[in-house]
Chain A
Amino acid sequence: MASNDEKPDFSDVEGGASSTAPLAEPAAQTYTVVSGDSLSKIAKKHYGDANKWRRIFEANRDLIKDPDEIYPGQTLKIPSE
């Protein structure tokens, strides 16, 4: 019998970064899909609004055929707001 522990959910992980060095010109932001993610969750993380998932979908049409099907390890472009 498979245990749920084998596939932990990291979709609610929050991350951040900062530096004492000056920041460079912002490059295009990317995000790597983790287990349990959906476009809505990613939109909520980056824009604070889950309804903006379509913006991410449109920017990644070359990778995503169906917005309900994204996979851990995919690196998505996150367009600026």
Chain B
Amino acid sequence: MRFYRTTLLILAACLAVSACKKKEEAAPPPAPAVEVSTAPAVETPPAAVPFHVLAVDLGKGLGADKKVTDPTTTFGPKDTIYASVASEGTASGVTLRAKWTYGDAGTVVHDENLSISPTGPANTEFQISKPTPWPAGKYKVEISADGATVASKDFEIQK
């Protein structure tokens, strides 16, 4: 009987020690410290895009959005010729110039300036017309912005 009690006590002690060990093993590792920024999020405004010309289109008609409605590079002797300059970007002031010339000698047909203050995408149109018929031949319109040529388009007037 005494032997039996002693065995029970030893067994109980072993179980207790084992349980404690398991508990220690089961303890989860401490969570890593997470750094939380307290600085407020600052929204960076989008950088202003500098003004630049995207494209120049020629046509016989013009829409309310200043884009050509009948794009072509061949015109008749009584047509009005429109050049639409698509641009994007901002500028406090930029002078667009359309210089229309005729023939290989570059005879000046018309020269027009327009100063604009674009705040984003824009269309600027230049146009020329002539009460008397246009001489047939090859023409060119050269577009410049603040004196720097940015595009040119050749076109033809046929009889």
Binding site for B on A (CB under 8 A): 5, 8-10, 12-27, 29-35, 72-73, 75
Q: Do B127 and A21 touch (CB < 8 A)? A: no
Q: Specify the chain B residue showing the minimal Cβ separation from A75.
A: B111
Q: Do A19 and B123 touch (CB < 8 A)? A: yes
* A60 shortest CB reach to chain B, Å: 15
Q: Do B131 and A12 touch (CB < 8 A)? A: yes
Q: A25-B93, A34-B109, A72-B107 are in contact. Are A18 and B114 (CB under 8 A)?
A: yes
Q: Which among A12, A15, A27 is the interface contact of B127 at CB below 8 angstroms? A: A15
Q: Do B107 and A17 touch (CB < 8 A)? A: no
Q: Do B107 and A20 touch (CB < 8 A)? A: no
State whether the Cβ of B154 lies closer than 8 Å to any Cβ in chain A.
Answer: no
In the complex, the number of residue pairs spanning A and B with C-beta atoms less than 8 Å apart equals: 110
Binds A, one of B7-15, B36-44, B94-102: B94-102
Q: Specify the chain A residue showing the minimal Cβ separation from B129.
A: A14
3 tightest Cβ-Cβ pairs between the two chains A and B: A21-B122, A24-B93, A19-B124
Q: Specify the chain A residue showing the minimal Cβ separation from B67.
A: A20
Q: Could you mark each residue 30-74 of chain B with 1 if its beta carbon is under 8 Å from any beta carbon of chain A, else 0?
A: 000000000000000000000000000000000001100000000
Q: Please, which residues of chain B bring their CB within 8 A of the CB of A34?
A: 107-111
Given A13-B100, A35-B107, 19 new contacts (CB under 8 A): A5-B135, A10-B109, A12-B132, A13-B110, A14-B128, A14-B131, A15-B98, A15-B127, A17-B114, A18-B114, A19-B96, A21-B117, A21-B118, A21-B122, A22-B116, A32-B99, A32-B111, A34-B111, A35-B108
